[in-house]
C-alpha cells in the first residue's frame, strides 16, 4: 500500500475460514461436558474442528495497474461502478481483496454470484412510517470465489455495504 494511502478503519470478522491447507492456525478449543454424554462430546468435537479461529483485520481491495502486470492496494472497499454518468451503479463482475489473518496474508479472488438470487427475487420491508415497501431484484452484491494459491478453498462475502 502506498504510504500516502490511509486505509479506512473497517473491521472484518472471520467467523469461519474454511481453508484446508494452512500451516499456522489459531485453534480455539471448547470445554467438553463432564457428564459423559458421547453424543454431546462428538458434536462438540465436530463443531470445534469446523471453526478454525476468529480474528479482526483491516482489508484492502486490490486493483490492477494500467500495465496489467501488478496489483495495487486500494482503500475504497466497495465494488460499485457506474458504466456511464446517466446509468445506475452496478457491482464489478470480479474483485480481489487482501486480508491479514492468523499471521498470514490472504488474497480473496471473488466474482459475482449470479446463482444466489432468483431473477424473481423481491424484498418486502415495512418503512418507518409503517408502509409496505417492495423492491424487485434487490442489490446484486454477493460474491464467491477462492483464496489465491490455496486449492480447494472457498470464499463467500457480501459487499452491499462494503466489507464490514
Evaluate whether residue 33 is within a structural domain: no
**What's the confidence (pLDDT) of residue 37?**
72
pLDDT at 114: 84
Give me Rg for the CA atoms of the chain.
20
Extract the C-alpha cell encoding 70.
501488478
How many whole angstroms separate alpha carbon 47 and alpha carbon 41? 10
Query: What domain range includes position 128?
Result: 59-158
Residue whose C-alpha cell reads 486449492 in the numeric block: 151
pLDDT at 141: 83
User: Total structural domains in the chain?
Assistant: 1
d(CA 9, CA 75) in angstroms, rounded, equals 10
Tell me which DSSP letter residue 115 carries: T
Identify whether 86 is part of a domain. yes
pLDDT at 26: 32
Q: Is 75 inside any structural domain?
A: yes
Please report the pLDDT score of residue 27 as a whole number.
34
Say if 138 falls within a structural domain: yes
Instruction: State pTM to two decimals.
Output: 0.50
User: Residue 134 domain-assigned?
Assistant: yes
Give 8's contacts (C-beta < 8 A, 6+ positions apart). 58, 75, 76, 77
Would you give the DSSP letter of residue 4?
T
Give domain status of residue 14, yes or no: no
Is 102 inside any structural domain? yes
pLDDT tens digits, the chain, 164 residues: what are they?
444 433 333 333 332 333 322 322 333 334 444 555 777 777 777 666 665 666 666 677 666 544 555 555 555 555 555 455 555 556 677 888 888 888 888 999 999 898 888 878 888 889 999 999 888 766 778 889 999 999 999 999 888 877 76
Decide if 135 is inside a domain: yes
Amino acid at each position: 500500500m502506498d504510504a500516502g494511502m490511509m486505509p479506512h478503519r473497517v473491521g472484518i470478522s472471520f467467523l469461519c475460514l474454511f481453508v484446508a491447507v494452512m500451516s499456522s492456525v489459531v485453534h480455539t478449543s471448547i470445554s467438553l461436558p463432564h457428564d459423559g454424554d458421547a453424543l454431546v462430546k462428538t458434536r462438540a468435537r465436530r463443531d470445534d474442528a469446523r471453526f478454525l479461529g476468529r480474528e479482526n483485520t483491516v482489508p484492502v481491495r486490490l486493483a490492477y495497474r494500467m500495465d496489467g502486470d501488478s496489483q495495487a492496494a486500494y482503500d475504497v472497499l466497495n465494488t460499485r461502478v457506474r458504466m456511464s454518468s446517466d446509468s445506475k451503479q452496478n457491482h464489478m463482475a470480479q474483485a480481489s481483496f487482501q486480508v491479514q489473518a492468523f499471521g498470514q496474508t490472504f488474497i480473496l479472488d471473488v466474482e459475482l454470484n449470479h446463482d444466489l438470487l432468483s431473477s424473481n427475487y423481491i424484498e418486502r420491508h415495512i418503512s418507518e412510517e409503517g408502509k409496505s415497501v417492495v423492491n424487485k431484484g434487490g442489490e446484486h452484491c454477493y460474491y464467491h470465489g477462492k483464496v489465491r494459491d490455496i486449492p480447494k478453498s472457498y470464499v463467500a462475502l457480501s459487499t452491499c455495504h462494503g466489507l464490514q
